[in-house]
Structure 1
Amino acid sequence: MEVLCPPSDAGLRLDWSPPRVPLKRHWINARKEKRFVALSYTWKESKHEHKTHERYAVQARDKTRYFPCKVRDCVFERILKYMRVHDIFYLWIDRYCIAQRACKAHHCKHKKCATKRKALHASDLVYRNSRFPVALLGRQMKQEQHMRLLAKILGGRLVDGGIDGARLSRKTSWEEVQGALTLLDDITSDKWWTRAWMFQENYRSGTKMTLLIHHPPDLESTKGEFADVFGYVPGELSIQSTSFFKHTTLLCQAALAAGLESDMVHRILHAAGRYSMLLHESESMTSRIIADLQFKEVTVESDILAIIANCCTYPVRLDVKSLDKEDLSVNILALRLLNGEVFNNGRGRNQDLTQPKPTTESFFFPQFEAPPKHRRLTYNKNCRFDAVYLTNAGVKTTGHLWKLGKLIHTDELLPDPLRLKPSEPTLVTRDRLKQLVNVLKDNDAQFLARKIDHFIRYNDWNLPLRPLTTSKFSHRWVLTMIQEVIAAMKDGKVLRLGRLYDSPTNATPQISALFICNHDDHREPFGPSDYVFTSLRPKTVDDKQRNYNDLDRHVSIQVEVAGPADPLPRLYFKQWMPGSCFFSGCPRRKVVFPWPDIL
């Protein structure tokens, strides 16, 4: 990856006057060398910045000369100060580290144009790999009282409570709340917050992104009082982006809870709301990301497709040259479906065709059920189909189809009261699982009983049931499914046995799955909706030839099977139905989810 750095021969003579500060080009392996700044800034200056560009020069790619920078002097001045404080030598800036020259031909095959297109689709990896992503906000902090107020906001001194119940502190006056919201509205109205590329850069940087807000020298001593919040960079407030989003969201939620309904509060939340605090635990971040991005500005409209793909971790990309430029929403819909986003085609659901303009967003599934003690929004984001093909009949994908069987009422599986010890809650869980094993054996589910018994015997019950992120996907998933079953048993939910569905001419497969009934659908005899479709696949790892943008995928949904179920079952979505299933050595089968009526 190409970066910029100050050359060792700083006294290099240039061919124009006055002399400019030269910035050399350098190549690094971003997989190994992560100590570089990935800069996030707006190409066009804000109303608070000077647009002069007279002090810096960049080395040409052939390294034979230097040419004047078109990036504003203030951009380089601010970021080089940050780099000096943190002892960083490399700077990645899109204007000069991505080849910008590209023709406007729709079917261009020029090498430079192809290189730029690939760079756009991989730009998020720069911010993900960098240890020091930095955003330059144009709006300045000029008043001491505003700096002190911002320190109060970021220190959480205006709000009591947390995500589940933020409320204004008793010591917080209404005037202070109004002033704090006005300050946040002013900060988030800066041009940086309106651009789609900046959204991607901040989102993909995660907890590493730092926001820089410029201030005059006379406020340096005031900033020193809050060094733990604002850092030590001269002339800059260094604020962790996730901290800014968190405390901004808490203050806005507390203001709304106190009865302050205003456009300003919702405007702030739209710009700097933290998804983990705003979204319900059953929702997917994908829909919110796409909705937010469509309100952001881009110079080239088709760039929004690359930005959505980068933010949503989509490995399948669209060829913009061959797309219909007139209807961006159709292109976004195709992008989501090709990358396996789960939609609800269930009969009678989300098919209100009486609306003047039914939205495609309405049929994407919004109610996932993540296991307890998981990062629920991350889990929901990973709920996607695998190996998707769009056909006239619907979305074709692969996975395993299960036929549901007998019911197990877990409220009858009570632990031995003689062994209950408050200090040893894991013994209660182990006793329940042992009773479940016995029930499975009584219901001709010996294979499944052996699998759970193996888990009981070899699990370390002195440790919490928590999968390690470094472990293999298969191990993480088995433990995750066991956790779901354990949680269901604690809640007294009904479980249902399942066996892989196959052609009636083949031998009946053994029972190897246990699914959780989260709703009141426990009727017998069984009907056409007594099937579950599952699909699991670990993410495609990076290799030296290609940077895969992918994630682990898992789907577990109760479906109705329409028409002949062999060789290509037509499935209709009913509800999310998690569980524990084992299918080692069993090949996947192709299925099709027909298009909903809205399409």
Structure 2
Amino acid sequence: MKNDLHLTFGEIFNGDLEAFRDQLIEIQDFQTSRDASEEWVQHLRFLDISHVPLLDGSGDEEPANKRRGYKNGRRAGLVDRPARWWIPLTRKEADDGDTKYIAVSWKWGNPRSLGADPSFDYRIRRPGRTPHKSDFPDHYLERVIRFAQYQNISNLWIDKECIYQRPGDDSTDQSLGIQIMDVVYESSVYSAGLLQTPITKQAELDALDALLSLSIFITDQENDNESVCFEDDIDTETVEIVIRKLLNDPRWTRAWIFQEDHLASHRMTLLIPCSEALFRRKHHRFGTISNELLVQMYEFKQAVTMFCVAAGDDRLASEFLAKVKQYNIWNKRIFALHSQTTTLSILEDICSRDLEKEHDRIAIMANASRFPVRLDVGENSPLVRRGAYSLSTALLALILMNGEIVKTDSGVLADTVLNYTLREYLSSWQYKFIAPGNKFEQTFIDHCRLISPIISRSGLRVRGFVFQLLPRFQSDLNPVGLTRVDEDDLSRQSRRLKAKHGRRRRKLNRLHEEVIEILIEKLRNTYGHDLPLADFLYHHLELDRDPPPPDVASPLTKYLLDMLSALAAAVLAGRDVRLAKLEDVGEEGAPSAIFVAPPTRDTWLAEQLPNETEEPPRVFVSFDKGWTNRGMERIASLEVTLHRESTRTTSNTGGVLTSSGWVNGLWDVRDERMSSYVFPLPGICDAGLDQDE
């Protein structure tokens, strides 16, 4: 499979939109199950270093709960050791509980040696096999062993040894492992990212310390650090030099490395060589391993991103952020009020790095984005073996099959779409979201996805519910609004409610809780005390007050509580909040949903535009509590226009929808079944085409 990511779809398919569309649909046939990979990851192999003597005998102090190694009942010294040391490769049993291990991230190749020669000539001993010399260099292995001993962990996961890929090995092991690297790194206790570039000057170490401590920045903490500038009298030049030095390390050029950093997240620790002569001002920041600095990857990414924001230099941002970037900080700066999923950011990071096999970008994209639907990129897959398939088209199919929401109301012509590369297409039609809460916005937005779409000639065929909004209430009896009496009462209580300190980590503050209680009472007074929607709101209010254990709670609860908090804030602000009924419910049916108008216009599009048929505003919703085997929950809530007459629908399709914005709200659809709808793909799939049901 050739890398055609720099080409437009017109160049890839010689201007033939039909060929582009046909291949996009055909690629869906090459899906693969992760079941075999799930079984593989239950039996991970590890390098067992429990008998390796303690290698780091220096440092001002030995970390608590660390033990020195022993051999044959005697304390192992730093001299007079055997020239060769065998490390056994063990295999995890499915029923052995949670095995603690360190996953190692390194750039393949022949890295240069730093400092003294390794203490041992290490050999790997597979069960029933002759010990062999590893392709993982001894001086790398020794650095990792020092880190593992520092953390009191005895199992190492190193791809070169723990995935069988030596000459003569079955290639199936590698293909199974590639598809489930997300689980390997997410399940590690720690991950170790090895750099080759050393810190050799005291000024560099001090600058790195100042950067990571964020002491060089002035931030607007009330707005989640969106506004960042430098403190006065800061030597930003030295900080910039040390960032550039570390980012010029060969490690950052490899796509697999990006995936490992992204998946390990807070568990990834960078190991940076450092001269022992340098003075470490804060031992807790860099650890106490001799000749090695321990730097948390998430702190490094955050600090470098904030440095680029404060510098306000596009050239510098382009250079640095191509290698490390904190998405939530940078995306807020770029998109202001609206935010996007991290799909395009991940794609750009994957596509800008080197890979030996181009089709591996497909597996890396799926792992890094935690996609449930996978494409078969094994060596025997027709998608890879034949030379007929486009990498750009395969990645687009993968992204769409996993529920990415794209704008559908642009009315783009087909010949225009053919002028775009994959990244340009996704950038032009990426959906903008407004998260219901101020915290963990990016996490919420990354779960805004459609449920298992099918790409058809008429667009994305999806399942969900369509609600019709009820007209706005025009009196003080509005069950989703506050009367003057309510407002006066809340105003008097506001200071008292804010002064009370509730349990930490609640989604709703005391004032919002009071608003929801008023709302529930109004709904019951209007529609009866047995209204399911009121019970639904009360149930989630109780879940916020007294959450169940994590293994019992529904995965969707935290997202619905975000919605509940947004609803309370909207009612307090006097915004347009509407009740809604399912599309097929008669006039006598009770409302089963409540939605907040998009904040950018605080009204509904269907009521703004001339509409001879007087169609009510509609909202499409869908949700998924997560698929089996470490799934990711998905949720969608979109203001839509329904075009029944624009397509030849089947009995299984409710019609064609175009979306005009994300809306926050809650809905109670217990015991209801989802219907099928079609969202056109701008410029690619036309709602007027026959559907391929």
Same fold (TM over 0.5): yes
Tell me the alpha carbon deviations over residues 523-561 of structure 1, each in whole angstroms, 9 at most, x when there is no partner.
28774472211101111243xxxxx4x301100111111
Is 1:521 matched with 2:604? yes
If asked which structure has higher relative contact order (CA below 8 Å, sep 6+), I would say: 2
| One-letter amino acid matched to 2:584 | D
Is 1:492 matched with 2:574? yes
From 103, 111, 121, give the equivalent of 2:179. 121
Change (3 A) 1:52 1:199: farther
- Tell me the equivalent position of 1:164: 226
SS at match of 1:557: strand
Q: Is the 8 A contact 2:468 2:582 kept in 1?
A: yes
From 39, 48, 52, give the equivalent of 1:5. 48
Q: Is the 8 A contact 1:382 1:552 kept in 2?
A: yes
- Calculate percent identity across the aligned residue pairs: 22
Q: Is the 8 A contact 2:468 2:616 kept in 1?
A: no
| One-letter amino acid matched to 2:639 | Q
| One-letter amino acid matched to 1:536 | F
From 26, 40, 46, give the equivalent of 2:90. 26
| One-letter amino acid matched to 1:331 | A
Q: Distance in 2 between matches of 1:145 and 1:342?
A: 47
SS at match of 1:473: coil
| One-letter amino acid matched to 1:510 | A
Q: Distance in 2 between matches of 1:480 and 1:155?
A: 31
Q: Distance in 1 between matches of 2:238 and 2:390?
A: 42
Is 1:345 matched with 2:405? no
Which residues of 2 match residues 323-402 of structure 1 at below 5 A? Answer: 323=383, 327-348=390-411, 353=416, 356-357=419-420, 359-362=424-427, 364-402=429-467
Q: Which moved more, 1:527-536 or 1:349-358?
A: 349-358
From 256, 272, 277, give the equivalent of 2:329. 277
Q: Distance in 1 between matches of 2:340 and 2:135?
A: 43
Q: Is the 8 A contact 1:402 1:532 kept in 2?
A: yes
Task: State the 1:149 CA deviation.
Answer: 1.7
Is 1:510 matched with 2:590? yes
- Tell me the equivalent position of 2:640: 559
Change (3 A) 1:556 1:86: same
Tell me the alpha carbon deviations over residues 399-429 of structure 1, each in whole angstroms, 9 at most, x when there is no partner.
1111222224766544252462212156754
Task: State the 1:467 CA deviation.
Answer: 9.4
Q: Distance in 2 between matches of 1:365 and 1:293?
A: 18
Q: Distance in 2 between matches of 1:245 and 1:473?
A: 28
Q: Is the 8 A contact 2:520 2:538 kept in 1?
A: no
- Tell me the equivalent position of 1:15: none
| One-letter amino acid matched to 1:2 | R
Task: State the 1:60 CA deviation.
Answer: 4.6
Q: Distance in 1 between matches of 2:431 and 2:536?
A: 35
Tell me the alpha carbon deviations over residues 185-230 of structure 1, each in whole angstroms, 9 at most, x when there is no partner.
11011111111111111111111110010123323xx13x321211
Change (3 A) 1:412 1:86: closer
Q: Distance in 2 between matches of 1:203 and 1:458?
A: 32
Q: Which moved more, 1:355-364 or 1:203-212?
A: 355-364
From 273, 281, 287, give the equivalent of 1:214. 273
Change (3 A) 1:467 1:368: farther
Is 1:71 matched with 2:158? no
From 155, 161, 164, give the equivalent of 1:99. 164
| One-letter amino acid matched to 1:339 | N
- Tell me the equivalent position of 1:473: 555
From 333, 338, 359, give the equivalent of 1:302. 359
Which residues of 2 match residues 195-234 of structure 1 at below 5 A? Answer: 195-219=254-278, 222-223=279-280, 225-234=281-290
Which residues of 2 match residues 38-53 of structure 1 at below 5 A? Answer: 38-46=103-111
Task: State the 1:285 CA deviation.
Answer: 1.2
Change (3 A) 1:99 1:377: same
Is 1:534 matched with 2:616? no
SS at match of 1:212: strand
Q: Is the 8 A contact 1:398 1:535 kept in 2?
A: yes
| One-letter amino acid matched to 1:122 | I
Change (3 A) 1:48 1:274: farther
Q: Distance in 2 between matches of 1:484 and 1:227?
A: 43
Q: Is the 8 A contact 1:342 1:364 kept in 2?
A: no
Q: Is the 8 A contact 1:52 1:72 kept in 2?
A: no
| One-letter amino acid matched to 2:623 | L
Tell me the alpha carbon deviations over residues 278-335 of structure 1, each in whole angstroms, 9 at most, x when there is no partner.
1126221121111111101111111111111001001111122222665211111000
Change (3 A) 1:53 1:353: farther
Q: Is the 8 A contact 1:34 1:129 kept in 2?
A: no
| One-letter amino acid matched to 2:676 | K
Task: State the 1:169 CA deviation.
Answer: 0.8
Q: Which moved more, 1:140-149 or 1:91-100?
A: 140-149
Q: Distance in 2 between matches of 1:89 and 1:240?
A: 21
- Tell me the equivalent position of 1:182: 241
Q: Distance in 2 between matches of 1:334 and 1:360?
A: 13
Is 1:570 matched with 2:656? yes
SS at match of 1:344: coil
Tell me the alpha carbon deviations over residues 354-410 of structure 1, each in whole angstroms, 9 at most, x when there is no partner.
884363214543311211144111111111111322222221111111122222476
Q: Is the 8 A contact 1:465 1:479 kept in 2?
A: no
Q: Is the 8 A contact 2:482 2:572 kept in 1?
A: no
- Tell me the equivalent position of 1:589: 675
Q: Distance in 2 between matches of 1:427 and 1:374?
A: 17
Instruction: Figure out how many residues of one structure are paired with residues of the other and give that number.
Output: 567
Q: Distance in 1 between matches of 2:529 and 2:400?
A: 36
- Tell me the equivalent position of 2:213: 155
From 170, 179, 190, give the equivalent of 1:132. 190
Change (3 A) 1:455 1:570: closer
Q: Distance in 2 between matches of 1:48 and 1:267?
A: 27
- C-alpha RMSD over aligned residues: 3.4
Q: Distance in 2 between matches of 1:240 and 1:89?
A: 21
Tell me the alpha carbon deviations over residues 90-119 of structure 1, each in whole angstroms, 9 at most, x when there is no partner.
11100010011589xxxxxxx922221110
Q: Distance in 1 between matches of 2:565 and 2:298?
A: 30
Q: Distance in 1 between matches of 2:51 and 2:131?
A: 15
Q: Distance in 1 between matches of 2:679 and 2:260?
A: 35
Q: Is the 8 A contact 1:101 1:113 kept in 2?
A: no
- Structure 2 unaligned segments of length 5 or more: list them: 1-43, 54-70, 73-81, 333-337, 499-508, 686-693
Q: Is the 8 A contact 2:45 2:89 kept in 1?
A: yes
Change (3 A) 1:228 1:454: same
Q: Is the 8 A contact 2:258 2:349 kept in 1?
A: no
Q: Is the 8 A contact 2:512 2:569 kept in 1?
A: no
From 345, 350, 358, give the equivalent of 1:293. 350
Task: State the 1:594 CA deviation.
Answer: 2.4
| One-letter amino acid matched to 1:322 | P
Q: Distance in 1 between matches of 2:52 and 2:115?
A: 29
From 448, 468, 476, give the equivalent of 1:403. 468
Q: Is the 8 A contact 1:533 1:556 kept in 2?
A: yes
SS at match of 2:272: strand
- Structure 1 unaligned segments of length 5 or more: list them: 13-17, 104-110, 543-547
Q: Is the 8 A contact 1:395 1:593 kept in 2?
A: yes
Change (3 A) 1:403 1:467: farther
- Tell me the equivalent position of 2:496: 423
Task: State the 1:509 CA deviation.
Answer: 4.3
Q: Distance in 1 between matches of 2:511 and 2:242?
A: 52
Task: State the 1:447 CA deviation.
Answer: 7.8
Change (3 A) 1:496 1:464: same
SS at match of 1:77: helix
| One-letter amino acid matched to 1:553 | R
| One-letter amino acid matched to 1:26 | T
